[in-house]
Structure 1
Amino acid sequence: MNEIFIEKDKPYLRIAIKDHEKLLACYIEEETEEAVPGQIYLGIVKNIVPAIKGAFIDIGKAKDAFMHLDNNRDLKKGDYFLVEVLREATELKSANVTSLITIPGTYVVVNPMEKALKISRKISNSKFINEVKEQLKDVSTYGITVRSSAENVDINIIREEVQALNIVVDKIIAKGKYSLKPQLIYDDGGALGRILRDYINDGTKRIIVDDIKNYDLVKENIEKLHSSAELIMHEESRGIFDCYSIEKEILALRHKKVVLKSGGYIIIEKTEALYSIDVNSGKSTGEVAISKTAFKTNLEAAEEIARQIILRNLSGIIVIDFINMKDKKEKTEVIKILEAAFKKDNNKTTIYPFTDVNLVQITRKKRGKDIGSFLEESCKHCGGEGARLKWDYLKLLIKNQLIKLKGQHITKEFVITIDSKYKSEVQKKLTEFITFIEGHDCLLYLLYLDNFNSYKVEPVIFDSQRKNLQEYKIY
């Protein structure tokens, strides 16, 4: 039974999914005026660059988006057409868009630029496949891809969704046709929209939200899907992620090292071209034979690696260096574990066989930023080479901890300890900082420590404490 936690606290929307008390997936979305994956825009071709087989498209944002050109597309400067955002812009790169727009639903995806009826490869039930081909062949004027989530659903429910999405597509095309300038045409709901489509099912036990707008949206989807999930409005001032002990699990995703139950561990590292994951036996030496230890550790690591890839939203090329195994049957078992673990993943993932040097390559479709992009930022004090917890994210953690302590203690005096790397941010906008953390009704002291890779919020109870902290008083 899964549980969904949806927390809205500016500038972040954070969503966590737990399955039997274990964190299954996590999504963070930051408020932005920039184009985000899933949105559809009316764009105009500004420039075509044959050398890189691409074109720059004005979609009404500060920076033109980039689109790869396929051999069948005959574009010229000044052309208007609809594009879907595949990847958001970064400091160095433009947003990536495609003319092959898609409108996803819970059970199907409508492809306006195609005519074919496709069925997810994850569906193996031949009876269902034949029924889909027969019942849906004339339902849509556009192409359809039937998702794996449709396999155990009544065909009439699937037909209804196809018809509803066809109406959405018609409206998108009409709006694009009569718009006079590049602009946003359709928003699929971002991270929350994806969660409502992908995770609300018969196994959803409860959904907890803290925002009335999101509450109404979730309620509408629960009713539409005939789900029995309990919907709870979280009304405490303390954040959902803090109340339900999710915060610690998310912060743990910053760590490169993940320890396995057997005593082994994996190391996850990011390079410019790919992610590398190294499996080590560590203290996992209980077995007599080294080969048995390697196999046992690799099996455990394979399951955890899949979980970490989904949790951290890693994408692109991922290379796993397993502990050396010579037995082909053992290698096959490890691949089977990976494949089974990724069946829960809604992203397109391809797993390649072991190479001669015991490497396994995985390619995973990019769908939004990795979690690290929301949690960390480059550190100016390290010459831009190091990373620190994002200041906006750290303020959110301090705020939740302060709210928690105010509810537990009579005192309204607190001392906050953070790394000295954040000193300039606090001093530049001190009043804004105090307002954000809801410290306006408190007496606050702020300590800066060098190389302090954490934070603390503690109550000031004794006079001796108070006397020593006077020079650090900020409010």
Structure 2
Amino acid sequence: MKEIFANCTEDERRVAIIEDGRLTDFFVERFAEENVVGNIYKGKVTSILNGLQAVFVNIGLSKNGYLPIDELVAAKADVTNGKHLIVQIDKAPLGTKGAKLTQNISLPGRYLVYMPGSEHIGVSKHITDKNERLRLKSILESLKEKGDGFIVRSEGAGKDKACFKKEIRYFRNLYMNIKKKFNKNQSISLLHRDLGLIFKTVRDHLTDDVNILMIDSPEEYHATLEFVDVILPKFKNKIRLYKGKTPIFDMYKIESQIENIRKQKIGLPSGGYLIIQEAESLCAIDVNSGKFTKAGSMDEIIFRTNMEAVKEVALQLRLRNIGGIIVIDIIDMKRQSDRNKVYRYFSEIVKSDKAKIEILPITKLGLIEMTRQRKFESIGNFLTEPCPYCCGSGNVLSRQTMALKIKKEVLKLVTRTGEHPVMITVNPEVCEQFDEKFRKNLETKIHRKIVITSDSGIHREDYRISIGS
């Protein structure tokens, strides 16, 4: 069974989903950093770049959004600078990039996604029964009007016509109001704001297999009760108010699991481990056998390690919300049958992930190449920023490298002998490299005395050189 916990403060809302005591999903919404994905705007075209096949649109955010040409509903010839368009944010701004926009509007509900202007009818990949898929398509065909498009969500399985009819009526009225605002508003404006984090969690995650949704804010608790009473009245008894004095995430041992999201090294049950390295353009994951504690032949040990690894990778990608291109370097397996088993197992367990995923077969080099849908920045990027000490590289020059660098600098600066000593100020860790032998060698070369001073306030890669008096 799943449990959902919501921590609400004046600064942020956090939602944690727990399965069997383990954190599987974590979401954050900060009031100073509004989540804009799903919002619909009246935007103004600022430029059209044919080389990039994109239209840049001012929607009132700090950076213009970019609208790929293939996401245009109107004919390209009709889009000119200054023209107003109705657009929806498909992907949040990331780094220096503005939000990715689309004109293919989609409005997600509990049981279906409504796509005005589309004629497509689809069913979630998580609904696998052929007869059920045909039944659902038949229902939507009977409810469809011109310009309606639908995708049945996994929660729509088993639902009757009345459930879908109610949602469709609501979304038709909602989109009609959005179009009225677009025609009425004279300038760039927000036409529709997507649900907040708690309500979105209810819509997308409050299901039969959830035991409880516990909220630590009375205001959010009562608002959520009202929302659930409208869309999911049968689940009202699952909504609880946390009244304890200990912070809710500490009480249920969630805070410590959140801290682990930042770790690059993740242990596996049998002694192996993963190294997860996330970059801007892709994520690389390395699988290592470590000290595997179970007996067996080398082939069996490698196979079991890879099976544990891909299971953990599926969970970590979902928990950390890592998207884009992902390359997994598993341990090389000699037997093709083992490679096939690992690939099939991985393909099966990622089906529980709500993000769209594509996985290619294992290559001869033992690599799994995959993509995972990215709508928001990863949790790691959201919670952190580049280290000002190493400028985000994760490395600084070694102590020996720094000592040799300073030695070269001294030899370049001090070209004449003299009575006055050379004063060198360095970080304490670098200072350790300037032992008596190293210092005497340098003194012999420059024919001056060397005075080394350590300063804990100086950066590891910084130093000061001066001639004393």
**Counterpart in the other structure of 1:242:** 250
**Counterpart in the other structure of 1:320:** 328
Q: Map 1:308-387 onto structure 2 (within 5 A).
A: 308-386=316-394
Structure 2 unaligned regions, length at least 5: 396-455, 458-469
Deviations 1:421-458 (A, max 9, x none): xxxxxxxxxxxxxxxxxxxxxxxxxxxx99xxxxxxxx
Picking from 102, 106, 111, the partner of 1:107 is 111
Q: Map 1:14-413 onto structure 2 (within 5 A).
A: 14-32=14-32, 36-70=36-70, 73-74=75-76, 75-141=79-145, 142-223=148-229, 224-225=231-232, 226-227=234-235, 229-236=237-244, 238-284=246-292, 286-386=294-394
Q: Equivalents in 2 of 1:195, 1:71: separation in Å? A: 28
Deviations 1:280-318 (A, max 9, x none): 111115333111101011111111110000000000011
- Which amino acid is the alignment partner of residue 82 of structure 1? I
CA root-mean-square deviation:
2.2
- Which amino acid is the alignment partner of residue 14 of structure 2? R
Name the CA shift for 1:368/1:167 in 2 (closer, same or farther; >3 Å). Answer: same
Cα shift at 1:68: 1.3
Q: Equivalents in 2 of 1:276, 1:383: separation in Å? A: 20
- Indicate conservation of the 8 Å contact 1:128/1:151, yes or no: yes
- Which amino acid is the alignment partner of residue 18 of structure 1? I
- Which amino acid is the alignment partner of residue 19 of structure 1? E
- Indicate conservation of the 8 Å contact 1:254/1:372, yes or no: yes
Q: 3-state SS of the aligned residue for 1:177?
A: helix
Deviations 1:379-434 (A, max 9, x none): 223345459xxxxxxxxxxxxxxxxxxxxxxxxxxxxxxxxxxxxxxxxxxxxxxx
- Indicate conservation of the 8 Å contact 2:198/2:224, yes or no: no
Q: How many residues align?
A: 390
Q: 3-state SS of the aligned residue for 2:42?
A: strand
- Indicate conservation of the 8 Å contact 2:285/2:327, yes or no: yes
- Indicate conservation of the 8 Å contact 1:307/1:341, yes or no: no
Q: 3-state SS of the aligned residue for 1:382?
A: coil
Cα shift at 1:365: 0.7
Name the CA shift for 1:65/1:34 in 2 (closer, same or farther; >3 Å). Answer: farther
- Which amino acid is the alignment partner of residue 63 of structure 1? K
Q: Equivalents in 2 of 1:106, 1:338: separation in Å? A: 28
Structure 1 unaligned regions, length at least 5: 388-448, 451-475
Cα shift at 1:235: 3.4
Q: Equivalents in 2 of 1:139, 1:256: separation in Å? A: 49
- Indicate conservation of the 8 Å contact 1:140/1:163, yes or no: no
- Indicate conservation of the 8 Å contact 1:41/1:185, yes or no: yes
Name the CA shift for 1:35/1:252 in 2 (closer, same or farther; >3 Å). Answer: closer
Deviations 1:291-349 (A, max 9, x none): 11010111111111100000000000111111111322222221222223222211111
TM-score, normalised to structure 2, is: 0.78
- Which amino acid is the alignment partner of residue 365 of structure 2? V
Q: 3-state SS of the aligned residue for 2:38?
A: coil
More moved, 369-378 vs 153-162: 153-162
Q: 3-state SS of the aligned residue for 1:367?
A: coil
TM-score, normalised to structure 1, is: 0.77
- Indicate conservation of the 8 Å contact 1:207/1:229, yes or no: no
